[in-house]
Each structure stands twice: as structure tokens, then as C-alpha cells.
């Protein structure tokens, strides 16, 4: 079983790598091979799982292996073929669709207006045809544009943008001058990027995705105790009552998110003093003005909220690291803890750098276990860009976390050569990232001056600290608050989106929401209720769109709940490793309380923390995740406590800020 599964996994990994790195002329050939492989694996699984069911009657010791192998959906060969075709279609819509504008539209300045921009917006789909962008779903824009203007520009005259990374960069404030030479105000450009991407990719995905839901549900109905694909996905995480856990975790962290939302709303109104933003203190935030295509990156507001001499994003950018420098620095922090360095095969086969210029690489950061005979054949795709070096550092450390997990679990049988759960696989890199950006390590990297490590007030009150939290707070520098604010604005807004993306899909899968009638209405109901954001155009006008299709993980059919859980587990692991580094154990005993603010815990060079990691990672998926969590943290439950402890100094600062300015927390 082990040898056969390794062979099948290797073939699947190779196809996946080819799809990410080869030219589009190979796409159909690769797709045909993928379909055949999926059909072979389905037939093999059916036979193997039937054999395993017979052996179980004799009390054999391989129950976990067969449980992991035999869970999940069971589609017929015909269904698998149709699913592959449909997924290929929507993935190509996402990765290959281009939004185009005339390269010389800036020459019309100073008379250039939003109307001119929309009149000259085109979409190029994978079949390479160019057509005018259909604005009919967005009524206000239709009224503003000239419907009689049908002049088509030649393709050579167009400047074109992929959704990722081009439009995503624009949404985070990079490359705004690429749109009509920057002769429009930023708000107009952001709205154009946000709306045009959704209008281009959502509608063609809508009906294919509805059919995919039917096909995926058919496969899960053939599995024991599954009514729909949402149940299949939830089973993968081995969490009893997963929906209740997810709801509880979100409720625990939502008050902190609402405080950030309130403060950002205050400064967003100052930055965009236009009719877009009303004076209501409890208003929903315009989605296109927050940062990122999904309003998930609010870091541009850091220095509005706390002006400071240090700009971490600028410091990372001016460090001028090459792509290889970036990967070497990520490797260094893992290696300093005694974890394995990257293999020769990794350096030979990975794609590091902006390898997408020739159009052959889907430049979405990723890691791959090739399941080759050479266990060191683990690969990564990272395409750093100088404008977002800080974000690139995060992506690199995160993806390397996957590689390290694969390496440490490589001695396990094939079925166990993965994380103890998908959530832990995602959490490892994020926990090490928390260690990689401590102020101490930023000094080590040359990003931060060491003066920002020392308390700025030399005098300390003679009154004894009433709590350990107050004592720890005395050691903070003003930079600590800027640092924590930046971390929070980068990480916390992703949590509600991770939460609602799977809540949304689960309710589509089980039929609680009628896809054809309410797919987009329900999506925005969740975005308003949980994220506190609204679209720039009316909700009524968006009814025919499919805005959820504009996110990568829907086209890739990747569950989001693993990232949601990882957002909490990563802080738990980080705190557990800190305790291990200091006390030799991750025990939750009161005597093992960390004596510094949690974000100041530097793991660099800690062999004690590294030893604990190697011990737990080496078990791969052979044990239940609760065993791994208990070893790493001393606890058996996923909780928000470590996350909230990490941001405690910032939480107190936000309380003072909100009280001082009389801000309203929450939204209507």
C-alpha cells in the first residue's frame, strides 16, 4: 500500500507542479493526464479500502492509516472527468484573465476622468479574445459611461493586468501609477481595480461552480455519514463539532477586530474625504479602500494611527535583498533552532524569483512535496517583489514551514508524510514567522536599530507592579506599539474572511442557501455582518455577479477553515516554543509564565525549542492533532488566548485611543 500510494502521490505532485510552471500550450495535455490519474487513484482506493475493511475484522494495528486513506468523497470516473474540466476552466479564468486599458490613457490628462477610464476598460479571457468589460451589473457606472463609444484599441496598445499579482498590488497601494500614468485619484483607481476584477471573473465562473457543487456532493453522498461536500471537508480536520469551535473562536477575537475596525474607520474618513465616506460613526467600511483585493491587509494605516520614525515596510524594501537572500534568511531561522537545512534538490528544483515574466509560472507562493524516491525533493515557488519585501518575507517563511514539516515527517510511511492536520501544516510557518519578526530578530536582520529595543523612559515608578502584565509593559519601547499594530493590521483582518469564506461555501453545499437565487446576496450579507465592509456599488446591482469567485482559493477549491484555525494555533505554538526555550517544557504551569511581552520572545538559536519541534513534526500525521498540540503547548484545545495575549499591549492602547476620540465600536 505504501509503495503504491507513494507512486500515485508522486504522479499527482508532478502534474500539479507542471500546471504551475509549464506553458499554457501544455495545459490540455496535463489536464487529460490528471483525469486519468484521478480515475486510477479512485479505483485503487476502492480496492484498497475494501481490503482494509476485511482486515479490520482481525484487529490489525493500521486503523489510523486506513482512516486517513479511505475518508473523503467517491466520485465516478465520469464525474471526475467532468469535474476536472470544470475546475480547469475556472482556474484558467482566475489565473489567465486580463483587465486591459489603453497604455496611453494618461495622455488625456488633465481631462482624464473615471468615465474615461471605464469607457476604455477591456477584458481578455484565456481564449485571447478582447472585449469591452460588461458594466451592466454596476448601474452607477453604466450611467456614467458612454454606451455609444465602441472604439476598440489594438492589443499592442493595451496595458493589461492579471488579478494576481498585478491588481492585488494596486489594491495594496503599489503600482497605482500604472493605471493611466497615475493621473486619476487613488480612490478612483482602487475602485476600478476592485470592480473590474469582480465583473470580469465572477460571471463566467458562476454556472460552472454551481455544477461543481452538484458533482462534489454526489461523491460525498457515497461516503459514510456525509450529506454534502462541506461534511467531507470538515472531517478532514478531525475536530468534533467543528462549526461550533469555529464560531466560538471568532466570537473570542471579534471584539479585538472591532476595535481595529473602529480606529481604521476614523482614519479612513480622514484620508478619503469624499462622498464615499459618511460621517456616521458606526458605518460599514468601503471594501476597496482598506487594502488588498479582499480588504484583508490594513497595514497602510499604521502610521496614520501611530506616527513613528520607523517604517518596517520601507526598511524591508530598502534592505534590497535578492530573492535568494530572502530564502536564505528564512532558512537561517529554522536552521538556527536545529531544524534541517534545505536539500540540494530543493535548491535545484524550486522556482525562486520573478519567474513569471514569460507567462509560464502561476506566481502564487506555494510548497510541494513531490513524494519522490529522493525524499529531499521538496520544492517551493516564491516570486518576491521589492515593493513588498516585508510581505515576501512572510510568504517565504510560511512556505518554508511546509517544507520543514515535510522533511521532518519524511521517514514516516507515505500516508503520514504530512501535517497532523491541514491546519497544523498551515500553522507551523506562521508560528516561526512570529519568531522571525521579533524586534530582536529584526535587529539581527539589519532591519531595525537596536535602540528600539530599550525602554524609552529610564525612570521606573517605585510603586510595585500589581500585575505581571504591568511589569512587562514597562519594558516596552514606542516601536513595540507600532510593531504590534502593524502585525495586527496584517493578520487580524484575515480572520473574519477566513471564517466567512467557508461558512459561505458550507451553506451553499448543504443547500441552506439557494445558489442560483442568492449566491451573491448571501456572500455580502456575511461580509457586512462579520467583516463590517460594504461594496462601493449597491448590493442590489450586484445580484447577478459571483464575487466569491474572485478569490484564488475558490477557483483552487481549497477549504479556508484550515487557515482560520491556523490563525489561532500559530500563536499557541509560538507561545509553547517560547516556554520550551525558557523552561525546557511547554507546560502551562503558572511558574512557567513568560517574563517578557510575548511578541518579544526570540527563538533564534534555541535548540530546546527546535528539539521539541523536531520531535512533534517527525510524527507527521501518524497521531491525532490533539497529541501534537499538547506536546507543543501543554493544551489540547485550540483557543484564542495566546493570540489575545500577544496583542494585549496593543489592545490596551486601542481602548485608550477609542475613549479619547469617542469612537463607536462596531457597525450597523
Please answer whether residues 413 and 2 qualify as being in contact, where contact means their C-beta atoms are separated by less than 8 angstroms.
yes
Integer Cα distance of 316 and 446 in angstroms: 9
User: What would the grid cell of residue 542 be?
Assistant: 450586484
φ, ψ of residue 217 to 5 degrees: the values are -65, -35
- Cell numbers given for 150: 465602441
Question: Is residue 466 classed as helix, strand or coil in its secondary structure?
Answer: coil
Annotated binding-site positions for Zn(2+): 398, 402, 426
CA atoms of 512 and 593, how far apart (whole Å): 46
User: Distance (Å, rounded) from C-alpha 214 to C-alpha 208?
Assistant: 10
The sign of the CA dihedral 206, 212, 214, 216 is negative
Summarize the annotated binding site as residue ranges.
398, 402, 426, 562
C-alpha pair distances (Å), 104 with each of 107, 113, 145 = 6, 14, 19
Pair type for strands 122-124 and 130-132: antiparallel
Phi-psi region of 173 (alpha: psi -120 to 50; beta: other; left: phi over 0): left
**What are the contacts of 264-272 at 24+ separation with CB within 8 A?**
264/290, 264/298, 264/301, 264/305, 264/489, 265/663, 266/661, 266/663, 267/301, 267/304, 267/305, 268/301, 270/304, 271/301, 271/304, 272/187
Give the whole-angstrom CA distance, residue 216 versus residue 232: 10
Decide: helix, strand or coil at residue 612: helix
Q: Which grid cell is 286?
A: 468601503
Specify the DSSP element, H or E, that contains 326. Answer: helix 323-336
Residue ranges for the known binding site for chloride are 562
d(CA 152, CA 401): 48
Catalytic residues: 399, 553
Which grid cell is 406? 515535510
Task: State in Å, rounded, how far the first CA of the chain is from the last one.
Answer: 56
- The rounded distance, in Å, linking the Cα atoms of 288 and 271 is 13
List the beta bridge partners of residue 159. Answer: 101
All cell numbers assigned to 420: 497532523
Strands, E assignment, 344-432: 351-352, 366-369, 378-382
* DSSP category for residue 456: S
How many Å apart are CA 646 and CA 55, to the nearest integer? 48
List residues bridging with 98 in a β-sheet.
124, 162
Pairing of strands 378-382, 351-352: parallel
For cell 517560547, the residue is: 578
- CA 633 to CA 646: how far, in whole Å? 15
Amino acid at each position: 500500500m505504501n509503495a503504491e500510494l507513494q507512486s500515485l502521490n508522486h504522479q499527482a505532485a508532478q502534474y500539479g507542479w507542471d500546471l504551475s510552471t509549464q506553458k499554457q500550450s501544455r495545459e490540455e495535455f496535463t489536464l487529460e493526464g490528471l483525469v486519468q490519474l484521478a480515475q486510477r487513484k479512485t479505483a485503487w482506493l476502492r480496492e484498497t479500502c475494501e481490503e482494509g475493511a476485511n482486515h479490520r475484522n482481525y484487529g490489525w494495528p493500521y486503523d489510523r492509516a486506513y482512516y486517513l486513506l479511505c475518508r473523503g468523497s467517491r466520485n465516478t470516473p465520469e464525474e471526475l472527468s467532468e469535474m476536472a474540466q470544470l475546475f480547469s476552466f475556472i482556474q484558467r479564468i482566475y489565473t489567465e484573465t486580463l483587465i486591459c486599458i489603453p497604455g496611453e490613457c494618461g495622455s488625456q490628462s488633465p481631462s482624464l476622468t473615471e468615465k474615461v477610464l471605464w469607457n476604455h476598460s477591456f477584458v481578455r479571457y484565456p481564449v485571447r479574445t478582447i472585449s469591452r468589460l460588461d458594466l451592466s451589473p454596476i448601474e452607477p457606472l453604466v450611467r456614467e459611461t458612454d454606451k455609444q463609444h465602441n472604439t476598440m484599441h489594438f492589443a499592442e496598445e493595451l496595458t493589461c493586468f492579471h488579478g494576481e499579482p498585478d491588481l492585488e498590488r494596486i489594491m495594496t497601494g503599489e503600482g497605482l501609477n500604472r493605471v493611466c500614468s497615475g493621473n486619476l485619484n487613488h480612490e478612483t483607481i482602487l475602485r476600478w481595480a476592485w470592480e473590474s476584477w469582480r465583473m470580469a471573473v465572477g460571471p463566467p465562473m458562476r454556472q460552472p461552480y454551481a455544477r461543481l457543487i452538484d458533482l462534489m456532493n454526489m461523491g460525498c453522498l457515497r461516503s459514510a455519514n456525509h450529506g454534502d461536500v462541506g461534511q467531507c471537508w470538515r472531517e478532514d480536520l478531525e475536530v468534533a463539532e467543528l462549526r461550533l469551535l469555529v464560531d466560538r473562536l471568532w466570537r473570542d477575537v471579534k471584539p479585538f477586530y472591532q476595535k481595529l475596525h473602529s480606529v481604521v474607520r476614523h482614519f479612513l474618513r480622514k484620508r478619503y474625504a469624499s462622498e464615499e465616506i459618511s460621517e456616521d460613526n458606526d458605518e460599514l467600511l468601503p471594501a476597496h479602500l482598506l487594502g488588498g483585493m479582499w480588504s484583508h491587509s490594513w497595514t497602510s494605516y499604521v502610521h496614520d494611527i501611530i506616527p513613528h520614525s520607523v517604517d518596517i515596510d520601507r526598511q524591508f524594501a530598502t534592505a534590497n535583498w535578492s530573492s535568494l537572500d530572502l530564502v536564505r534568511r528564512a532558512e537561517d531561522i529554522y536552521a538556527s533552532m536545529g531544524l534541517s537545512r534545505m536539500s540540494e534538490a530543493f535548491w535545484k528544483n524550486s522556482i525562486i524569483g520573478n519567474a513569471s515574466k514569460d507567462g509560464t509560472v502561476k506566481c502564487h507562493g506555494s510548497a510541494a512535496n513531490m513524494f519522490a524516491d529522493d525524499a529531499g525533493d521538496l520544492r517551493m515557488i516564491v516570486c518576491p517583489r521589492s515593493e513588498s519585501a516585508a510581505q515576501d518575507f512572510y510568504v517565504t517563511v510560511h512556505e518554508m514551514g511546509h517544507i520543514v514539516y515535510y522533511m521532518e515527517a519524511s521517514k514516516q510511511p507515505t500516508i503520514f508524510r504530512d501535517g497532523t492536520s491541514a491546519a497544523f501544516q498551515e500553522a507551523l510557518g506562521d508560528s516561526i514567522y512570529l519568531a522571525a519578526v521579533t524586534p530582536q530578530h529584526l535587529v539581527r536582520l539589519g532591519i531595525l536599530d537596536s535602540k528600539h529595543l530599550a525602554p524609552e523612559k529610564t525612570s521606573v515608578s517605585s510603586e510595585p507592579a500589581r500585575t505581571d502584565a504591568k511589569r512587562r509593559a514597562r519594558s516596552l519601547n514606542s516601536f513595540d506599539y507600532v510593531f504590534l499594530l502593524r502585525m495586527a493590521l496584517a493578520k487580524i483582518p484575515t480572520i473574519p474572511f477566513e471564517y466567512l469564506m467557508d461558512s459561505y461555501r458550507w451553506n451553499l453545499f448543504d443547500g441552506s442557501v439557494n445558489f442560483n437565487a442568492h449566491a451573491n446576496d448571501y456572500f455580502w450579507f456575511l461580509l457586512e455582518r462579520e467583516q463590517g465592509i460594504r461594496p462601493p456599488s449597491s448590493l442590489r446591482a450586484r445580484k447577478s455577479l459571483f464575487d466569491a469567485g474572485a478569490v484564488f482559493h475558490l477557483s483552487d477549491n481549497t477549504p479556508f477553515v484550515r487557515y482560520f484555525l491556523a490563525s489561532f494555533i500559530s500563536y499557541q505554538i509560538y507561545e509553547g516554543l517560547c516556554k520550551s526555550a525558557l523552561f525546557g517544557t511547554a507546560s502551562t504551569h503558572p511558574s512557567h509564565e513568560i517574563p517578557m511581552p510575548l511578541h518579544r520572545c526570540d527563538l533564534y538559536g534555541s535548540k530546546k525549542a527546535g528539539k521539541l519541534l523536531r520531535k512533534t513534526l517527525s510524527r507527521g500525521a501518524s497521531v491525532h492533532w490533539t497529541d501534537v498540540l499538547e506536546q507543543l503547548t501543554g493544551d489540547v484545545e485550540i483557543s484564542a488566548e495566546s493570540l489575545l495575549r500577544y496583542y494585549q499591549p496593543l489592545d490596551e492602547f486601542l481602548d485608550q485611543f477609542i475613549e479619547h476620540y469617542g469612537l463607536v465600536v462596531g457597525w450597523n
